[in-house]
Each structure stands twice: as structure tokens, then as C-alpha cells.
Structure 1
Amino acid sequence: MFYHASPTHCIEVLEPRVSNHGKPLVYLSKKRENVLPYLSNAVEKYCRETGFPHEGPWYKWGSYGFFEGKLRIDEYWPNALEETYKGVSGYIYAAETVPGREELKGIPDAVITSEPVPVTGCEYVPDAYEALLIAAELGQIFIRRYEQLPEKMLAWIESSIKQQYEAADIPTYKHFLKGKFPEITARLE
């Protein structure tokens, strides 16, 4: 089985869409828990909540990686997990087959395809934050809270945010970085 998360209801066929990689693709995972972070986009949520105008595609934000073969979400700022996911609902779509699928390098259990994917099942997720906490309790994923991050990781986050802010040419992404990392971005203005 393959899984894909979306805020959109009643999808019967997953169509390739352009994402951060610039090519129209469908992204899926062989593990349901690995698609949970895609139920919410921190950049989109923050811009909507602050009334920041938007044009074009949303920049995708994901502060996750993999540790011991499992998804690990890191909070890049205090309460990031709750701010990004609490109260956000969405859908996890299942597909039995993925035409033209290829393994996605660097992301365990992920596949991509440039072909439409027929949906064979749909699960409503009423609260993405609760779903992530349950997956962590079951040992399916790891969650590292901001307060648990090692100094080396905090230094890397600061360096990365500086670089991304200075290079950002997408207004919504720059607004997000400024709002979530004001102590870092204020020194760059």
C-alpha cells in the first residue's frame, strides 16, 4: 500500500503537481505515518493566519528527516509542532498501485511518479497534531522538541535560516521566516 496526504477531500485520482522540485510529480510513501507531516504546511498556515497576501504556489516547509529508518520531526522553534499541526484536518489517501513509480533517493520508503495514481482508500484525519502524537507514542516516528535539540543542531538551524532568509525570493516564505525566527532575521535587516 502507498499513502499520500492532502487537505482536499474526495480525490479519486492523485494527479502530478509541481512542488519545490519544479517537476509535476505525485509523492507517496509506503508508510502511512510518513505522510502525516504533509497534512499541514507551516508557511501556508502562518501566512493565512497573519493575512499575508499570496500569489502562486506555496513554498513547502518540512523540518523532518529520518533516524534509524523512522521519520523524525524536529521543532525548529518552540511549540512549532503544535503551531503547525494543531486543529488542522486533512485526508490520507491510499493506493494499491503506483504506475511508473520510482524510489525517491534520500527519503526512506518514498516513491514518486509522473503518472496519475488511482485512489483505493481515504482516511479522514481530524487533527494532524493528535495523529503525530499517536504515531510517536506507538513508536512509528520520533519527535524532537525544540528544548531537546542539541547545541550543534540549534547552531545549524540559525545558520540555515540566515542563508534561506538572505536568498529568499518568495515573499510568503520570507514573511514566514521573519515571523517564526525574528531574533535571527532582525539581525539581517
Structure 2
Amino acid sequence: MTFYHGSSIAGIAEIGAKSEINEREKAPVVYLTPNRAYALFYIRDLEVNFVTCGVTAAGYIRYDERFPDQLRMLYKGKSGYLYKCGESTDFKTTSTRGVWVTKNPVLVEGVEYIPDVYEEILKYEATGEVRVIRFETLTDGQKQDIFDMLVNYIYKNDMINQFTRKAEFYRNNFPDAWDYVVRHPDEKQTRIDEWNKRHRR
């Protein structure tokens, strides 16, 4: 089985363990997937790191837009690389479908240059292997859920007091949620508590 690792960085010969699995497991790991289409979405801006897709039980990739024209904005004209690796007994499955990890460095066995990630993703959308839920097709209720989620995220991570590419991304693409947080600083803990209760965290 071939595994893929998507990256915007050129010239990788060995993929090192850098990312964490989650907040509880701090040991660095290498992320891999046997799904070529899924790996494309990880050719991304690492400073922003905004990926809203996953492999469904039916086997296709569902990509959920959180703001208008998200897919095109994030990937159109973006180039990168799919690094190919052979299977290893070190690779372990995770709770996220289609994602494997290893704590050990992984030797690259091949690489494929992707000149335009957006156009490559659209090829998979045409075959049904990727299904994009575009923002304009969402109901008012679904858009409200996204607003609430973003308000919670901005509050929780104190984004309005950060001067980073990621903060700029949220300010530019989620202006309503951003403005709400700016105008209601006293609601921070209430909104976070409500969100946690709603999602049983």
C-alpha cells in the first residue's frame, strides 16, 4: 500500500515527526494517509492550518466550507507536493478515518508535484470521490452553527489579541464572528461555557 503526505515544502527526503495527535497526546508524529485525494487538502498554509474535511464511512471525502468560496480561496493557484511512502509496521491507525501516524521518521520513496491543488481537487469532485458542501447551500441554521463555533474559537484562543497570519485569516474570513467578540468582551466565559455544555465537553 502506498501512503501519502501532502506538503507545500519542496525537497523532503525524510518526513520528520513534528505534529501532535491532539491536546492530550503531545508526542510528535508523522501524519500519513493511503488516500491520495485526502492528502491534497494538506498542501496548505501551515501558519493558518485551516482544513475542514474528512473521509466518510462511505469512503468519499466530505469538504465543508465555513465561508463563501472557501475551497477556491484556499487552494486555487497553490502548488505543492505529494510525498509517497511505503507501508511500515510502525504506521498506526487513529480515531480519524483515513489518517495513520508514526512516531518515527519516514523515508520518502517518491514525490509528485501538484501545480494547482484546486484543479486537482476538482478532478476528484467530478468523480464523486470528493463532495464539497459549499457555503451558499447551507441553511440559515447551519450558518448560525458556524457563527457560534467561530465565536467560541475566537474567544477561547484570544484571537483578537494576536498578531499572526492565523488571526488575520479569521478576522478577514469570519468578520461577523470577529466583530461580535470585539464588541462583547464580557461575554467570553458565558459563550465558552454555553458551547461546552452544548457539546458536552
The answer to which of 145-154 and 75-84 deviates more is 145-154
Partner of 1:47: none
1:103-132 C-alpha deviation (Å, 9 max, x unpaired) = 011x22210011011111110000011011
Cα shift at 1:159: 0.8
Q: Distance in 2 between matches of 1:99 and 1:165?
A: 40
Quick check: 1:28 aligned with 2:32? yes
Any unmatched runs of 5+ in structure 2?
Answer: 183-201
- What pairs with 1:1-189 in structure 2 (closer than 5 Å)? 1-19=2-20, 21=22, 22-41=26-45, 58-67=47-56, 68-105=58-95, 107-169=96-158, 171=162, 172=164, 173-189=166-182
- Opposite residue 167 of structure 1, the aligned amino acid is K
> Structure 1 pair 98/65, CA: closer, same or farther in 2 (3 Å)?
same
**How many pairs are equivalent?**
173
- The structure that has the greater radius of gyration is 2
1:72 is paired with a residue of what secondary structure? Answer: strand
Cα shift at 1:20: 7.2
Which runs of at least 4 in structure 1 moved beyond 6 Å after TM superposition?
Answer: none
1:84-112 C-alpha deviation (Å, 9 max, x unpaired) = 1011000001111235111011x222100
* 8 A Cα contact 1:98 1:117, kept in partner: no
2:9 is paired with a residue of what secondary structure? Answer: coil
Q: Distance in 1 between matches of 2:72 and 2:87?
A: 33
* 8 A Cα contact 2:85 2:108, kept in partner: yes
- Opposite residue 23 of structure 1, the aligned amino acid is A
Cα shift at 1:18: 2.8
- Opposite residue 177 of structure 1, the aligned amino acid is Y
Query: What TM-score comes out, normalization by structure 2 length?
Result: 0.79
Query: What TM-score comes out, normalization by structure 1 length?
Result: 0.84
Identity %: 28
Partner of 1:52: none
Cα shift at 1:59: 4.9
- Opposite residue 83 of structure 1, the aligned amino acid is M
The answer to which of 58-67 and 86-95 deviates more is 58-67
